[in-house]
Amino acid sequence: MVLLSWEWTDAGAPSSREVQRFAASAIPCIRILSASGGTFGRLPGGIAAYRRACARRTDMEREGFAMKVLVAYSSKYGATEGIAQRIGEVLSRRGHEVEVVRCADVDDATGYDACVVGSAAYMFNWRKDATRFVKRNAEMLATHPVWLFSSGPLGADTVDKDGNDVLAGAEPKQFAEFEDLIHPRGRQVFFGAYDPEGISGRDRIVVWMPAIRDLMPAGDYRDWAAIEAWAGSIADELGAPAGRAPEKEPT
Ligand SMILES: Cc1cc2nc3c(=O)[nH]c(=O)nc-3n(C[C@H](O)[C@H](O)[C@H](O)COP(=O)(O)O)c2cc1C
């Protein structure tokens, strides 16, 4: 699926229409270009390979091209796993070949055309196996369409007592760190779920602290409509395989 990297041989500037087509495309080779910072002159090649890629993209659309999508997640108590499964269901209903797998179980993500990576947030950070997954697959992720999500804040309020957006304030530190590393196409925080009876070990001590306890109302706050809408927007970007009408969303 990575078409361009070794093919570029000549120089030249694409027309603005070509650039627009290219930017709208969802095939993985686009990431190679955008990873270059959008400066075509700095690409390891030129316009001929770019045009070949555009032509091939048109072929893919005509033939119907299902992306092989990896949804990799890290979940401690199951809330994030549920979100990952739902994202996978939406993408597969839209005709893509989807695997939903724990980050720790994917050594090498080579072979997938696109990737969604998500983790629960604990103490403002993604879980370590999700962070490790991204670092060990940084090269693949930087050259393919990738989206990140985090499951974290608890409660029904979308704005805190100071008027700040709760989801924006709950971005894990890794979102900023991974921006430069892998250039994700999107990053999203979702409300999570918390059952005080279900947690174990050090987490029990952390939530016992009054300042933390107040921020952690028990309950399942996962917003399935928001999760499905986000997954649907990813499916939109990846494009619908031809000859396969998107199935009706369950009511
Ligand atoms: C000890 C503890 C610390 C947490 N820290 C954070 C945090 O820093 N930021 C956040 O948004 N959510 C935090 N949460 C909420 C969890 O991220 C949320 O419950 C999540 O949905 C759990 O996902 P999981 O069941 O997949 O592990 C914390 C939860 C616990 C129990």
Identify the weakest region by mean pLDDT among 4-8, 45-49, 144-148: 4-8
If you count DSSP H runs as helices and E runs as strands, how many of each does the chain have, helices first?
Answer: 11, 8
Cβ atoms of residues 23 and 14 within 8 Å: no
Instruction: Kindly tell me if the per-residue pLDDT of 233 is higher than 90.
Output: yes
Burial status of residue 238 (CB atoms within 10 A of its CB: 0-12, 13-18, 19 or more) = buried
pLDDT score at 164: 96
Average pLDDT, the chain: 81
Residues whose CB falls within 8 Å of the CB of residue 215, separated by 6 or more in sequence, listed in order: 154, 155
106, 134, 141, 173, 227 from 178: Cα distances, Å? 18, 8, 10, 9, 21
Ligand 1 lined by 189 (C-beta under 6 Å):
no
Start and end residues for every CATH 3.40.50.360 domain found in the chain: 68-238
Q: Of all residues in the chain, what percent carry a pLDDT higher than 70?
A: 70
Other Cβ atoms less than 10 A from the Cβ of 67: the count is 26
Q: Whose CA is nearest to atom 28 of ligand 1?
A: 122
Torsion of CA 72, 78, 82, 87, to 10 degrees: -20
pLDDT of residue 239: 86
CB of 78 within 6 A of ligand 1: the answer is: yes
Whether 95 has a pLDDT exceeding 60, the answer reads yes
Across the range 177-187, mean pLDDT stands at: 96
CATH number of 68-238: 3.40.50.360
Which of the residue ranges 30-34, 147-151, 185-189, 220-224 would you say has the lowest mean pLDDT?
A: 30-34
User: CA 171, CA 177: separation in Å to the nearest integer?
Assistant: 11
179 CA from centroid of ligand 1 (Å): 22
Q: Which atom of ligand 1 is nearest to the CA of 81?
A: 26
